[in-house]
Amino acid sequence: MKISGYLGFSLIDYPGIPSFVIFTQGCNFKCPFCHNPELISQRKKGQYSEEFILEEIDRRRKLIKGVVITGGEPTLQEDLPSFLFKIKKKRLLIKLDTNGSNPKMLIEIIKSNLVDYVAMDFKTSPSKYHKAIGLTENETKKYLKNIFESLKILRENKIKFEIRTTVVPEIVEEEDLIEIRKIIGENTLYFLQPFKNDKTLSYEFKNKNPYPEEMLEKYSATIKSKLR
């Protein structure tokens, strides 16, 4: 596994579960608003070995009940299942954060009981998705197909999951949120996250102001989502 960061203890990354957070290196998207741009490069090596991270988890074993795997995009790493298995042996719950682009890996780890909770991004309405992930419309087509496939997997398997959208001005407007709600279904747990402009991949997005809180509250009420 290529691991470039970790957080020893968090109360906010796994709903209701004190957890250890692992940041994997490498992502297949280039979201211009990405808040972890240093984790995007797939060429970079990880900074921490699996052994080191597993020892750090052991040191906190009495404080934590779960581990969050986030990125970057964790499902791009072929050895994800074997790494999750090592964590599972410690009798910890696992939450995966994913952009939904790798349904093959998603179904593999769900079927092998290697994950307990999935948070998947649905970044904007399909017609604008290429703007959100910073790729061409052609490249985005393939990924969108995968994202719909991942959504189907989450719905059809008995796994707790949430869908989340970072509400980035211009990329996500009220009509996009309404469309996403229609796609994911009325009963799906849906979170909106505010956009933060203190660190972004694209310089252009550093100058964009996040939506005011009242606006987010209004959007959230319209589509019956929760705010983070």
Written in H, E and C, the secondary structure of 125-166 is: CHHHHHHHHCCCHHHHHHHHHHHHHHHHHHHHCCCEEEEEEE
Q: Which of 36, 41, 197, 202 contacts ligand SF4 by CB under 6 A? A: 36
Beta strands at 93-98 and 19-24: parallel, antiparallel or unpaired = unpaired
Cα–Cα distances (Å) from 73 to 65, 77, 96, 99, 122, in that order, read 23, 8, 10, 7, 14
Give the shortest CB-201-to-ligand SF4 separation in angstroms: 7
What mask, x for binding ligand SF4 by CB under 6 A, covers residues 65 to 94? ------xxx---------------------
Nearer to ligand SF4 by Cβ, of 142 and 224: the residue is: 142
Nearer to ligand SF4 by Cβ, of 133 and 216: the residue is: 133
Q: Which residue has the tokens 């809180």?
A: 213
Nearer to ligand SF4 by Cβ, of 84 and 171: the residue is: 171
Which phi and psi (to 5°) does residue 93 adopt?
Answer: -75, 150
Cα–Cα distance measured from residue 135 to residue 143, given in angstroms and rounded to the nearest whole number: 10
Give the shortest CB-176-to-ligand SF4 separation in angstroms: 16
Residue 34 touches ligand SF4, criterion: CB under 6 A: yes
Number of residues that this document lists for the chain: 228
Q: Which residue has the tokens 């229609």?
A: 182
Count of residues interacting with ligand SF4 (CB under 6 A): 12
Q: Which of 17, 27, 94, 115 contacts ligand SF4 by CB under 6 A? A: 27
Cα–Cα distance measured from residue 116 to residue 77, given in angstroms and rounded to the nearest whole number: 19
Written in H, E and C, the secondary structure of 23-46 is: EECCCCCCCCCCCCHHHCCCCCCC
- Pick the piece of the chain touching ligand SF4 (CB under 6 A) from 3-11, 27-35, 150-158, 191-199: 27-35
- Pick the piece of the chain touching ligand SF4 (CB under 6 A) from 30-38, 86-94, 138-146, 216-224: 30-38
Nearer to ligand SF4 by Cβ, of 3 and 34: the residue is: 34
- Pick the piece of the chain touching ligand SF4 (CB under 6 A) from 5-13, 25-33, 52-60, 179-187: 25-33
Cα–Cα distances (Å) from 84 to 24, 79, 136, 185, in that order, read 13, 9, 33, 30
Q: Which of 75, 99, 125, 200 contacts ligand SF4 by CB under 6 A? A: 99
Q: Which of 14, 23, 29, 129 contacts ligand SF4 by CB under 6 A? A: 29
Task: Summarize as ranges the residues that interact with ligand SF4 (CB under 6 A).
Answer: 27, 29-31, 34, 36, 39-40, 71-73, 99
